[in-house]
């Protein structure tokens, strides 16, 4: 069995392009494969019928309409041309630097971009200067604001430090006074006890002398 498939062989046969080996395969396939043989027969019959097909005349139809339709649609065919020309004109006007001025009913057309270039340079310079000034003002304002903010922060910090140290000192003094008072209270108590002791000693000594004198 050859490698050609049925559709390929039939197609080659229909186009009469079978090589010798393909023809052998084709004929062998026709003998061995009845279904393929029937396909070939059907193709042959259909080909014959197609050849015998009688082409009748075309019924009347409006052929002129197509050309007229085309002509009508070509009424606008000038549009791309005009569009192209106007585009070219616009480019030329831009490249040559053409300027049209109407002042007091007077129309002036000026070619060449030199004049306008100077105007543009001048305008650009003034804009740049304006921009520089604006930027400088903004920068100085920013610096001023920043400085003020720093001063405020420093002042706040100083106040805080002073207040907090004052408080601490006050608390320290209170502690000291309390301690001194405590010491004084202790001293007073100590002296009182000393005096009591002394008083008792004196009274005892006095009683002893009295007794001795009595005994004597």
Contact positions toward other proteins, by CB under 8 A? Answer: 6-8, 10-11, 14-15, 30-31, 34, 37-43, 45-47, 49-50, 52-59, 61-63, 65-67, 69-71, 73-74
Burial label for 4, CB within 10 Å (0-12, 13-18, 19+), is: middle
Q: How far is the CB of 5 from other proteins (least distance, A)?
A: 9
User: Could you give the CA distance from residue 33 to residue 6 in angstroms, rounded to a whole number?
Assistant: 10
Q: Kindly list the distances between the CA atom of residue 26 and the CA atoms of 44, 47, 84, 97, 176, in Å, as whole numbers in the listed order.
A: 14, 18, 62, 79, 130
Least separation in angstroms between residue 67's CB and other proteins is 5
DSSP helix/strand/coil, 101? strand
- When the beta carbons of 74 and 101 are compared against other proteins, the nearer one is 74
Q: Which is nearer to other proteins, 68 or 125 (CB)?
A: 68
Shortest separation between residue 101's beta carbon and other proteins, angstroms: 44
Closest to other proteins by CB, 41 or 205:
41
Secondary structure of residue 27 in the 3-state scheme:
helix
Q: Please, which residue, 17 or 108, has the CB nearer to other proteins?
A: 17
Q: Report, in Å, the least distance between residue 87 CB and other proteins.
A: 21
Q: Among residues 15 and 104, whose Cβ is nearest to other proteins?
A: 15
Instruction: Kindly list the distances between the CA atom of residue 24 and the CA atoms of 37, 100, 157, 206, in Å, as whole numbers in the listed order.
Output: 14, 86, 111, 171
Residue 21: CB minimum distance to other proteins, A: 19
CB of 131 vs other proteins, minimal distance in Å:
55
List, in sequence order, every residue forming a beta bridge with 101; answer none if it has no partner: 108
How far is residue 186's CA from residue 10's CA, in Å, rounded to a whole number? 137
* DSSP conformation class of 113: S
Residue with smaller CB distance to other proteins, 4 or 99:
4
Q: CA 118, CA 114: separation in Å to the nearest integer?
A: 6
């Amino acid at each position: 069995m050859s490698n050609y498939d049925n559709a390929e062989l039939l197609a080659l046969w229909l186009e009469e392009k079978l090589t010798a080996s393909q023809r052998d395969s084709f004929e062998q396939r026709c003998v061995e494969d009845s279904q393929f043989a029937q396909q070939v027969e059907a193709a042959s019959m259909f080909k014959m019928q197609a050849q015998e097909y009688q082409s009748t005349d075309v019924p009347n139809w409006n052929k002129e309409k197509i050309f007229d339709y085309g002509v009508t649609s070509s009424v606008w065919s000038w549009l791309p041309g005009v569009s192209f020309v106007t585009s070219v004109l616009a480019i030329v006007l831009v490249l040559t630097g053409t300027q049209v001025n109407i002042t007091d009913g007077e129309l002036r057309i000026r070619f060449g971009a030199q004049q306008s270039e100077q105007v543009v340079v001048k305008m650009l310079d003034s804009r740049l200067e304006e921009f520089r000034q604006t930027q400088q003002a903004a920068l100085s304002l920013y610096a001023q604001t920043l400085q003020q903010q720093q001063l405020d922060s420093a002042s706040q910090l100083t106040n805080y430090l002073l207040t907090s140290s004052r408080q601490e000192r006050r608390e320290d003094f209170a502690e000291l006074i309390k301690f001194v008072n405590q010491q004084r209270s202790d001293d007073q108590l100590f002296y009182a006890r000393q005096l009591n002791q002394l008083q008792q000693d004196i009274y005892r000594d006095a009683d002893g002398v009295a007794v001795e004198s009595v005994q004597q």
